[in-house]
């Protein structure tokens, strides 16, 4: 069994694990920023108000968290991982560090300690260059989730058949082509054919 307090504590823990306030968590999930405010957790009559299943589903999708791992937080169990494999963006373009599905593989990875991450295949990349400034700066570490679904508007890491690995924003997607945008206006958008993409994974957050 779980309680009203358990559910809200799990939401608070999930926000904290991703370096977000509860308002920030609601915002990245596409919800009203006040959705998880403490004042919203009880009614005017002081009765418990539970988060909707739709809200929880959006939060899990936005953070790349499985229902099973959210249940671990509800049950007060520790997050699955605090150590992630880490590699520089330039080295990520060489062979042997990823399998065909974009999961980390092989040796040569360093490790970095991060807040609790629930994707068992998540990994960290060190940003190179200034194309994603001011959000991601040269040397920043990003956490990437190959198990999370990518949608237009997500910040992603893409590997091309040429071996190039880049962090971009997925601006547009059709059946045959992707538009990848830099956040730095000094860099132009890039259009790539879908068949030139080896894999694409969503960026969960950055440790700066």
Q: What is the mean pLDDT of residues 138-155?
A: 88
| pLDDT value of residue 130 | 87
Check whether 115 has a pLDDT greater than 70. Answer: no
Sequence-distant (≥ 6) Cβ neighbours of residue 68 within 8 angstroms: none
pLDDT band at residue 116 under the 50/70/90 scheme: low
CATH number of the structural domain 4-74: 1.10.260.40
Domain ranges (residues) in the chain:
4-74, 82-207
| pLDDT value of residue 106 | 76
Check whether 52 has a pLDDT greater than 90. Answer: yes
CATH topology classification for 82-207: Umud Fragment, subunit A (2.10.109)
Digit-coded pLDDT (tens) for 76-111: 765 555 678 898 887 887 877 888 778 888 777 888
Of the candidates 80, 205, 64, 63, the residue with the CA atom closest to the CA atom of residue 148: 64
Of the candidates 196, 197, 147, 153, the residue with the CA atom closest to the CA atom of residue 172: 153
Q: In this structure, are strands 155-160 and 165-173 parallel, antiparallel, or unpaired?
A: antiparallel
Digit-coded pLDDT (tens) for 1-32: 678 888 998 898 888 877 788 898 999 899 99
What angle in degrees, to the nearest 10, is found between the helix axes of 4-17 and 53-63?
Answer: 20
pLDDT band at residue 118 under the 50/70/90 scheme: low
């Amino acid at each position: 069994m779980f309680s009203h307090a358990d559910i809200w504590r799990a939401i608070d823990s999930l926000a904290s694990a991703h370096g977000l306030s509860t308002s920030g968590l609601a915002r990245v999930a596409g919800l009203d920023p006040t959705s998880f405010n403490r004042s919203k957790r009880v009614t005017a009559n002081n009765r418990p108000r539970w988060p909707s299943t739709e809200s929880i589903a959006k939060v899990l999708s936005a953070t790349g968290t499985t229902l099973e791992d959210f249940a671990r937080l509800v049950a007060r169990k520790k997050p699955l991982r605090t150590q992630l494999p880490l590699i520089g963006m330039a080295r990520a373009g060489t062979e042997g560090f990823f399998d065909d599905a974009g999961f980390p593989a092989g040796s040569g990875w360093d490790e970095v300690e991060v807040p609790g991450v629930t994707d068992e295949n998540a990994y960290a990349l060190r940003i190179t260059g200034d194309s994603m400034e001011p959000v991601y700066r040269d040397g920043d570490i990003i956490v990437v989730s190959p198990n999370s679904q990518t949608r237009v508007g997500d910040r992603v890491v893409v590997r091309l058949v040429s071996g190039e690995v880049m962090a971009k924003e997925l601006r547009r997607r059709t059946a045959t082509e992707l538009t990848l945008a830099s956040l730095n206006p000094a860099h132009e958008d890039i259009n790539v054919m879908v068949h030139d993409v080896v894999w694409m994974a969503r960026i969960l957050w950055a440790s700066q």
